[in-house]
Amino acid sequence: MTKSSYIPQNTDQFYINGRWQLPAQATMVAVINPATEEVVAEVAQGSSRDVDHAVAAARAAMPGWAATSVADRARILGKLHELILEHQEALAQVLSLEMGAAISFARSMQVPLAAEHVRVARDVLATYAFQKIENGTAIVREPIGVCGLITPWNWPLYQITAKVAPAIAAGCTVVLKPSELSPLSALLFAQLVHDAGLPAGVFNLVNGGGAEVGAAMAAHPDIDMISITGSNRAGALVAQAAAPTVKRVTQELGGKSPNVFLPDADFAKAVPPGVMSALRNVGQSCSAPTRMIVPRNRLAEVEALAAATANAIIVGDPRSEDTVLGPIANEAQFKRVQAMIEAGLAQGAKLICGGPGRVDGFAKGFYTRPTVFSQVDNGMRIAQEEIFGPVLCIIPYDTLEEAVAIANDTVYGLGAHVQGQDLDQARAVAARIRAGQVLLNYPTWNPMAPFGGYKRSGNGREYGVQGFEEYLEIKAIVGFE
C-alpha cells in the first residue's frame, strides 16, 4: 500500500462526542487512488451501533448548542474558516489522492470554494433575524434539531461544508456520513472542527456505506432532518427510510443541465467556456451543463470550436501542475462512463472528439478521453441520463421554442445556462427553463445564490440564506404583543 504523508492517522476511528474513538465493530475498507489503482489507505466502516452512539451524542448536545449566542457560533465558524485556509494544501493533496482531482483544481476550486461555504454561513448567521413581529404575532425561527448529513464523492469537502456550516450556524447538531469512496478529506475536516473549538457532540462523523450507515441515519427516530447529495436511487431510498419518522428530507440528486445558445450569442467567445464548464472536475458535477443546445445553422462552427477546446485539454497525472483533468474518481464510475460513450455511438450520435477507452499512455488509472458528441437527439440515452464523466452532447434546434422545449425535456431540473448578447431575451428564456438555478453568460460563482433542483433533481435548497433556513423550524407565537 502506497502511503502519503497527507493521509490522516485516525483512519480506523470515528469522531463522536468530541473525541476520536474506535467503531463498535472493526471493519476496514480500502481507499483506492484512481490515478494508480493502488490502495492508499484503509478506513473504518460503521454500523447502526455507531450511528446510535453518534446520534445520542448529538441529541445530548442539542439543547446547549441551540442556546449559544450568535456571537459564539459565528466565532467558531470564523475559526473553522481560518483553519481550512491554513490547511488548504493538505486538504488539496488528500482530495487529489482520494478522488483524482488535478492538484491545481483542488487548490484553486475544491478547497477555496469549500471554505466559502463556512464564511457565508458565518456571515448569514451574524445578520439573520430569528424573530420578527407581524400583526402582534412573533414569527420565530428555531434550529430543527439533530441533522443527518450524507455527502458524495465528487466534491467531497465542498459538499461537507455546504451542509455542516449552515447546520451548526443555525444551532443544530449533526452526524455526518461522507462517501466511503472519498473519506480522507472528511477525516481531516473533522480534526479542524475539533481544533476550532466546537463543543463535544455538536459535530459527529461516522464513515460507512449507504446501505448500512446511511440507512440507519435515515430511519433513526432521534434524527430530525436528513440532507443528502447523491444519486436519484440513493435519494429515493433515504426518503423511503425516513418516511415513517416524518423527518424533513432535503435532496440534491443530480442533473442533466442544458446550455442554451441564443442566435445572437458570441459563439467564438461562449463555446470554449461551455465545454470547460461541462468537463470541469472530469464532468463529475451534478450541475455540469452537458447538453449544449445550439442553432442548427451554427452547428458546424460549434463543432469545430468544441473539438478544438476538448482536444487541447491536458489529461494526466493529477499531481502534475499542468494537468487539467485527472482520472475518473473510481472504477465503477469509469465503467459507467465508458458504457455511456458506447451507447452514444450505438444510437448514432456523431463523435467529434474523444471516444471510448483510456487516454493514450495510461495502462492504469481511470483516465477518460474528453468526449464530444454532436447531432444528438434529445431522446438518446446520452442526452437523458446523467453520465457523470467528461462527455458533452451538442443538440441542434431550429426555433427558440424548440430550444426551450429541449432544455426542459428531462426528468432533471438542477441547473441551466443561457448564452446571449440580448440580456432581455436571455432573461426571458431563463424564466421559461424549469431549473433551480440558471446562469446567464457564465457569471462569477455566487455562494449566496440558492442551489437546488426541480423535478427529480431533488427538493430544498443549499447555499446562502435559503440554505441556512433549511435547518430552521418556524414557530408562531400568537398574541405576542
Q: Which residues form the catalytic set?
A: 252, 286
Report CA 29 to chain centroid distance, whole Å: 23
Q: In this structure, are strands 291-295 and 258-261 parallel, antiparallel, or unpaired?
A: parallel
Would you tell me how many other CB atoms lie within 10 Å of the CB of residue 298?
16
Query: 491545481: which residue's cell?
Result: 104
**Residue 384 backbone dihedrals phi, psi, to 5 degrees:** -105, -30
Could you tell me the CA-to-CA distances from 358 to 335, 346, 352 in Å, in that order? 11, 19, 17
What pairs with residue 446 in β-bridges?
Answer: none
245-273 as b/e: b if 16+ CB within 10 A? eebbbbbbbbbbbbbbbbbebebeebbbb
**Residue 304 backbone dihedrals phi, psi, to 5 degrees:** -65, -45
What pairs with residue 177 in β-bridges?
Answer: 150
The DSSP output letter for 478 is T
The DSSP output letter for 358 is B
The DSSP output letter for 244 is G
Residue 326's SS3 state is: coil
What pairs with residue 372 in β-bridges?
Answer: 353, 392
If we measure between CA atoms, which residue out of 75, 29, 38 comes closest to residue 327? 38
Report CA 253 to chain centroid distance, whole Å: 9
Query: 440532507: which residue's cell?
Result: 227
What residues have CB less than 8 Å from 378, skipping those under 6 apart?
291, 384, 395, 406, 409, 410
Alpha helices in 296-380 (DSSP H): 299-311, 331-346
Decide: 183 and 31 in contact? Cβ < 8 Å. Answer: yes
- Please state, in angstroms and rounded to a whole number, the distance separating the CA atoms of residues 155 and 134: 41
If we measure between CA atoms, which residue out of 372, 368, 381, 378 comes closest to residue 350? 372
- Please state, in angstroms and rounded to a whole number, the distance separating the CA atoms of residues 128 and 378: 44
